[in-house]
Structure 1
């Protein structure tokens, strides 16, 4: 029997990019609430997509602490305003799947008190294993008060990796399930003919010595400072090296803002001065997904030097495209990057150790061939989006029908 499913995610499709089409394709009645509606050809005319407006993400980063604290409350009110006409028409969800951090599910009981909640929980920011920059654990707990209330309300919580689950207290683990959203292995695949056209007429292919780095925002939380610290020496050792930093050149998305008014990239590059060759450092900003995949397909080495935080989609997509990976061991990559099998792990925040690993991996692509194969195979074995979505749907079905949940 088809389900009535309510998906709440202010950045929809976000983590629901594979799940939403699968639910629609099997005949479920799907309603989505996001910050704005958008173009999603796979779902055009096949679900109801409501927009709350507002910008809760900006509110949560505002300089006024009171505005930050109240941002989830205002987001919850916007969600209720969107859904009130639907509730008045008699529509009731069999199950709700919500990204709860922004407050979308706070007032769920005002409209749908009987609807079971599956809470997407990304990370416990107050955990000692999570890198919090300058913020205190108490301040980070206040950032997540909407998540805390969702945990009380939820039937079950959903996390994408063991690292994310383990950031939460052990008493909560029996109520959490680890299911990644998955990677589209057809879209993310090796291509020996791939080429990447960058601004300024730069055209790169597999013959080039390309080191790739990708993040939503180029900031220290994702390891930008770690890479730039060794870039002068790396460029001296490897005169053919081309470094591509894909991501927004802004003041940060997840971590603390830089001093002054400039971006993190500008701030860190200013420290380096003339010690680097800017013509071999490319910063194209946020790349469209198709171009980002081209970058991974031509990359001789993809570096993932994040502090402990939510594992980035770009890491698994790079591996699916056959890019060998060098990751920091403290980046939350347990179960993702396996030393010597599908990548290399940097054991400490040690610039010399990083340099010593980077140079041979870039100089000797044949030596990294086994890592390329291992990266693709690991993602195919564990993160194929078709299997991941099947597991997510099995969980939603069990919650909606009051059945025993799949084991953690």
Structure 2
């Protein structure tokens, strides 16, 4: 079988499935993306460079659309070259969000295209307007409506779609949902698992184990969409109540979602300026972005793992934390509530209630014995519903098999 994938940031959501397919004899896996140093054995990289960025004079409603067309055209040219070189895929799979899948079927009209639909934007009921400190503006309605042009064009170009959670799927219009399957990328629970003897040595030489009081917070970047400001404002009170606790914070200083921080500063700098005098920097450790192995070790020594998010896309780290047996304290927002049931397989708090967050952390650290059943049920939730090898990968393979063989997926 010939598989053609596209995602600007190789391998993106497709790491697990690409590794699986590339390891099977007889498969040829080609992946179109922008340049990065990542390599996967037996996967052929085809790198494209967008030929320009959106022009400053382009109307601000459609700057993202212009970029999507540029990305889509760049992938279109890469596909044309592959076709001229004699390559023909049996199926094409790609992320819709940046426009890369828009024109693939103009090269191979009769080859099925499975597109990843991550988020359909709404003015109400999701991320926009959720945070009162960032109120909706008159321009947001037209801007959001225009932003969904990429979703709409991408859906028209695809034979079928995939969304990672039921809540994200529910954001799409009815006519789209009818052709979108809900399949998460999955977690390899054979690797992402508890390790009672885990330990981690911090840059200052401190060594922590599961027997220590360790509070963990992880995000790709430290920003409001992932509740960083709420967590930081709660920290002074948490540290006073838990004088032995160590706090490990993982994430970069960039912005993945939402608005940039003002004055060119990072949200970490802004929050340290606001609450820095109330935290003990000997016990609060900003680790930046860490290797995956370090990330897993950090989860394995965690006593309480904090996951706060606007109603937005679900982070991989959330399910990975549950799979390692973390006591996850999450925000009572979608799609967290799709996975966590309060006091059954995790604890939930109001996103904005820093006092309640401090109470839950204090409770978790004061009564680790009471939390053990919750930890075990957290891992069981992931094993039963999101395990890579027994749940999500078989569903991915069945979906692709249906499309390749002209069947309507169930």
Aligned to 1:31: 30
CA distance in 2, matches of 1:149, 1:349: 36
User: In the alignment, which of 145, 148, 152 is matched to residue 156 of structure 2?
Assistant: 152
The answer to whether the 8 Å contact 2:309/2:351 transfers is no
Distance of aligned partners of 1:278 and 1:141 in 2 relative to their CA distance in 1, 3 Å threshold: farther
Tell whether 2:6 aligns with 1:8.
yes
SS in structure 2 of the partner of residue 17 of structure 1: helix
Deviations 1:85-114 (A, max 9, x none): 211133222221110111111221332222
Q: For 2:3, what is the secondary structure of its paired residue?
A: strand
- Does the 8 Å CA contact 1:163/1:333 hold for their aligned counterparts? no
List per-residue Cα deviations over 1:8-35 (Å, max 9, x = no partner).
1111211111111222233322211011
Structure 2 portions without partners, runs of 5+: none
State the alpha-carbon separation in 2 of the partners of residues 254 and 161 from structure 1.
19
Distance 1:348 1:71, change over 3 A: closer
Separation in structure 1 between the aligned mates of residue 338 and residue 174 of structure 2, nearest angstrom = 19
Residue 62 of structure 1: how far off its partner (Å): 12
Deviation of the 1:127 alpha carbon: 5.6
The residue number in structure 1 matching 2:299 is 296
Structure 1: gaps (5+ residues): none
Q: Deviations over 1:225-247 (max 9, x none)?
A: 11112111111111111111111
1:202 aligns with 2:193: no
Q: Partners in 2 of 1:51 and 1:145 — Cα distance?
A: 26
The CA deviation string for residues 155-187 of structure 1, in whole angstroms up to 9 with x for no partner, is: 111001111111212332221110111001122
Higher mean C-alpha displacement, 119-128 vs 383-392: 119-128
Which of 204, 213, 217 aligns to 1:213? It is 217
Q: Under a length normalisation based on structure 2, what TM-score does the superposition of the two structures give?
A: 0.91
Q: Which residue of structure 2 aligns with residue 238 of structure 1?
A: 242
Q: Would you say how many aligned residue pairs link Structure 1 and Structure 2? A: 399
Change (3 A) 1:318 1:116: same
Q: How far apart are the structure 2 equivalents of 1:60 and 1:174?
A: 36
Q: Are 1:260 and 2:259 counterparts?
A: no
1:401 is displaced (CA, Å) by 1.3
Which of 349, 352, 355 is the aligned partner of 2:352? 349
1:270 aligns with one of 245, 264, 273: 273
Aligned partner of 1:90 in structure 2 is 86
Match in the other structure for 2:98 = 102
Quote the residue 1:130 is aligned against: 126
Match for residue 371 of structure 1? 374
Partner of 1:338: 341
